[in-house]
Every structure is written in structure tokens, then in C-alpha cells.
């Protein structure tokens, strides 16, 4: 074990500021990923004749999107000014890019979800016309949502990494894969819960694949970033990520074993969803912890300076 390096600070105070985001943002990381994963599954189900899976995916996507909107607006310092996000489209700001991704996804997913109500509408008159147009509109909306879903799932990783928060920034090559895997696992989990076993096959595949990607990428974050991996293993973040690992692994196993049982599949889905929530909250807390201790800012920068002077 290398002994902890000496470093100096100003009365032990942190150098960079801790993010002021509250738990709403950690919750949004989850609901955004769930919306994205569900939309992908809904579109695939639509194209392969799996109506129950399609409905599950579309309704989950819209519900998760609504929750996402609530969390994002609620976290603002001035919620009434949320529309100011739409003043600019700025590629250097992942939050600006994400605002537009979310808007496009939201409109499309909304149309797709509303289309699920078509069978219950009357067939006569103007409403009848709309009722007959809805399935087509729903397919277009669903495919559009699926096209934007991968961007929705991964831009949040760029958002966290594009800061001076030491552990988030250092994780930038791996975090998009953590979030992509988590989104796939969440979407697959929703399918396992909401659709009968006969139609849930692809959701099962995506749930297991997503879980594998999430576990692999998270392991890299927890162990391959030197000192900056430490906040992911210690304290509140460490507890959350260990719980996430357990839940995600159990969920994946249950998904594989429950291919014939709706109950086992649903339990596996619940475990995967809980694991995804824990992963997002764990990553969130680890970043905050890395900002709060000056050593995570000073030591890597000193090492970088020393390396430059040697070369």
C-alpha cells in the first residue's frame, strides 16, 4: 500500500465548490435513463408485433419523462425561470444540449404514449379521424423517441464529467457506459414487470446486457482511476454502489432464470430498477465527496505538474 501523500491546503478547506444540486438531480439521472431505455424497448416491440411490451414501454417512457421534468424544474434556484433553458442552444454546455434532447424526446414520447389510447376512442366524427391517425402518429413518435433515447441516456454522463469535480471529471471515459448500461437495464426491467413472459423476451435480453455493461463500467470507475476512485468506494457513495452491485447482479440472474415465470421476472425487474437508482445516487454522492476534500483536487494536480517538469 502506498502511504497517503502529503499535501498542503488552506486550513483543510476545499478548493473547488461542491455541486449545489439536490437529490432531485440524482433522481433525474435515473428517470431519464428509464425513459430512454423504455422508449427503445417500446419501439422494438412496435416493429416486432409485441403490443403489451410496446404499451409498457411507451407508458413507462412518458411517466418517467414527466417525473424527469418535475425533478429538473424543482431543483432550479429559480424554478419559474425554467424556460430560460430554451434561450440558447450551446454545444459547450451539456445541460443546454440535454435540454433540447429532452424536449425532442418528450414531444415524441408523448405522441407515442397518447397513441396507446386509440382503441378506446370513438370511431366517428373528428375524434374518430384522430383515433385512426393515432397508431401511425404513435409509430412515428415512438421511433423518433427511440432515435433520441441513446443521446438522452448518455448526455447526463457528459454533464457530470464536464465539471471540475475531480471524480466525475476523471470518470469521463467510463461514465457514459455506466449510464448507458443502467438505462438499458432499467428499460428492460420495466418490460419484465409490465409485459407477459411471452412478449418480454427482448426486454429480458436488454436487461441482462444492460446490467452487464453497468457492472463492468462501474467496476472500472471504482478501481481504475487511482486516488480518484476512492470516493466511489468509501462513505455513503461506497455503500450505495455496493448495494447497486448486489441488486443489479441479483436482478440479472433473476431475469435469466425467470424466463418462464412472470413473478420471478417481475421481481428481477424490481431489483434491476432499485440497482439502477442506487448506481445513480452512488455516482452522485461520490462526486460531491471528491469536491469536499481538497486532497482530490490538489494531489492529482501536483502529480500532473511533477510529471510535466520531469518530461
Partner 1 sequence: MVGPNSFYGPIDPAPDAGYVDAPPRMGFFTDTSVCIGCKACEVACKEWNGVPDDGFNLLGMSYDNTGGLSANTWRHVAFIEQEAPSEASMDVLREAEATVSTQFLGMPSSTLPGSAGREDRDLRWLMMSNVCKHCTHAACLDVCPTGALFRTEFGTVVVQEDICNGCGYCIPACPYGVIDQREDDGRAWKCTLCYDRIGEGMTPACAQACPTQSIQYGELDELRDRAAKRVEVLHERGVPEAKLYGHDPADGVGGDGAFFLLLDEPEVYGLPPDPVVTTRDLPSMWKYAGVAALTMAAAAVVAFLGRRP
User: For residues 260-299, which are near partner 1 according to CB under 8 A?
Assistant: 287, 291, 294, 297-298
Distance in Å, CB of 267 to partner 1, minimum = 21
The Cα 97–Cα 248 span in angstroms is: 30
List of residues 6+ apart from 166 with CB closer than 8 A: 16, 228, 290, 291, 296, 297, 300
Q: In this chain, which of 67, 70, 74, 96 binds partner 1, going by CB under 8 A? A: 96
C-alpha cell at 282: 452512488
With 0-12 / 13-18 / 19 or more C-beta atoms within 10 angstroms meaning exposed / middle / buried, residue 11 is exposed
C-alpha cell at 203: 426486454
List of residues 6+ apart from 196 with CB closer than 8 A: 52, 262
Q: In this chain, which of 59, 65, 206, 247 binds partner 1, going by CB under 8 A? A: 206
The radius of gyration of the chain from alpha carbons, rounded to an integer in Å, stands at: 21
Stretch that binds partner 1, among 177-185, 232-240, 243-251, 273-281 (CB under 8 A): 177-185
Nearer to partner 1, 127 or 198 (CB): 198
Q: In this chain, which of 63, 74, 93, 104 binds partner 1, going by CB under 8 A? A: 93
Question: Taking CB under 8 A as the rule, does residue 198 contact partner 1?
Answer: yes
Question: Taking CB under 8 A as the rule, does residue 172 contact partner 1?
Answer: yes
Stretch that binds partner 1, among 105-113, 230-238, 241-249, 302-310 (CB under 8 A): 302-310
The Cα 213–Cα 180 span in angstroms is: 8
* Cβ count within 10 A of residue 117: 11
The residue assigned the cell 411507451 is 58
Nearer to partner 1, 270 or 298 (CB): 298
Nearer to partner 1, 245 or 288 (CB): 288
Question: Taking CB under 8 A as the rule, does residue 141 contact partner 1?
Answer: no
Q: In this chain, which of 4, 77, 122, 125 binds partner 1, going by CB under 8 A? A: 77
Question: Taking CB under 8 A as the rule, does residue 4 contact partner 1?
Answer: no
Q: Is the dihedral of CA 272, 273, 276, 278 positive or negative?
A: negative
Question: Taking CB under 8 A as the rule, does residue 88 contact partner 1?
Answer: yes
List of residues 6+ apart from 299 with CB closer than 8 A: 5, 7, 227
Q: How far is CA 177 from CA 209, 215, 256, 282, in A?
A: 12, 10, 22, 15
Stretch that binds partner 1, among 58-66, 109-117, 132-140, 178-186 (CB under 8 A): 178-186
Nearest CA to 165 out of 77, 301, 282, 296 is that of 296
Q: Report phi then psi at 26, rounded to 5.
A: -60, -40
Question: Taking CB under 8 A as the rule, does residue 35 contact partner 1?
Answer: no
Count, residues near partner 1 per rule CB under 8 A: 85
Question: Taking CB under 8 A as the rule, does residue 82 contact partner 1?
Answer: yes
Site string for partner 1, 220-239 (x = CB under 8 A): --------------------
Q: In this chain, which of 9, 103, 216, 234 binds partner 1, going by CB under 8 A? A: 9
Nearer to partner 1, 77 or 122 (CB): 77
Applying the rule CB under 8 A, the residues between 37 and 76 that interact with partner 1 are 40-41, 43-45, 47-50, 75-76
Distance in Å, CB of 35 to partner 1, minimum = 13
Amino acid at each position: 500500500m502506498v502511504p497517503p501523500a502529503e499535501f498542503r491546503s488552506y486550513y483543510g478547506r476545499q478548493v473547488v465548490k461542491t455541486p449545489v444540486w439536490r437529490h432531485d438531480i440524482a433522481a433525474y439521472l435515473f428517470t431519464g435513463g428509464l425513459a430512454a431505455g423504455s422508449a427503445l424497448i417500446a419501439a422494438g416491440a412496435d416493429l416486432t408485433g409485441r403490443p403489451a411490451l410496446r404499451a409498457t414501454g411507451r407508458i413507462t417512457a412518458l411517466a418517467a419523462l414527466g417525473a424527469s421534468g418535475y425533478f429538473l424544474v424543482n431543483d432550479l434556484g429559480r424554478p419559474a425561470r425554467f424556460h430560460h433553458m430554451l434561450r440558447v442552444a450551446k454545444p459547450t454546455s451539456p445541460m443546454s444540449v440535454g435540454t433540447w434532447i429532452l424536449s425532442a424526446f418528450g414531444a415524441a414520447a408523448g405522441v407515442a404514449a397518447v397513441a396507446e389510447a386509440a382503441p378506446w376512442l370513438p370511431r366517428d366524427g373528428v375524434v374518430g379521424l384522430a383515433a385512426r391517425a393515432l397508431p401511425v402518429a404513435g409509430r412515428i413518435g415512438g421511433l423518433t423517441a427511440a432515435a433520441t433515447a441513446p443521446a438522452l441516456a448518455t448526455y447526463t454522463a457528459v454533464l457530470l464529467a464536464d465539471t471540475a469535480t475531480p471524480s466525475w471529471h476523471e470518470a469521463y471515459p467510463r461514465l457514459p457506459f455506466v449510464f448507458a448500461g443502467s438505462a438499458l437495464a432499467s428499460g428492460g426491467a420495466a418490460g419484465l414487470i409490465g409485459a407477459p413472459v411471452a412478449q418480454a423476451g427482448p426486454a429480458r435480453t436488454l436487461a441482462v446486457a444492460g446490467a452487464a455493461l453497468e457492472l463492468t463500467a462501474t467496476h472500472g470507475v471504482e478501481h481504475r482511476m487511482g486516488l480518484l476512485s476512492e470516493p466511489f468506494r468509501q462513505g455513503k457513495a461506497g455503500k450505495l454502489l455496493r448495494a447497486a452491485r448486489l441488486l443489479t447482479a441479483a436482478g440479472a440472474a433473476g431475469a435469466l432464470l425467470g424466463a418462464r415465470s412472470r413473478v420471478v421476472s417481475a421481481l428481477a425487474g424490481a431489483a434491476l430498477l432499485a440497482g439502477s437508482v442506487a448506481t445513480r445516487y452512488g455516482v452522485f454522492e461520490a462526486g460531491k465527496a471528491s469536491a469536499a476534500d481538497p486532497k482530490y483536487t490538489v494531489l492529482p494536480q501536483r502529480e500532473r505538474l511533477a510529471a510535466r517538469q520531469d518530461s
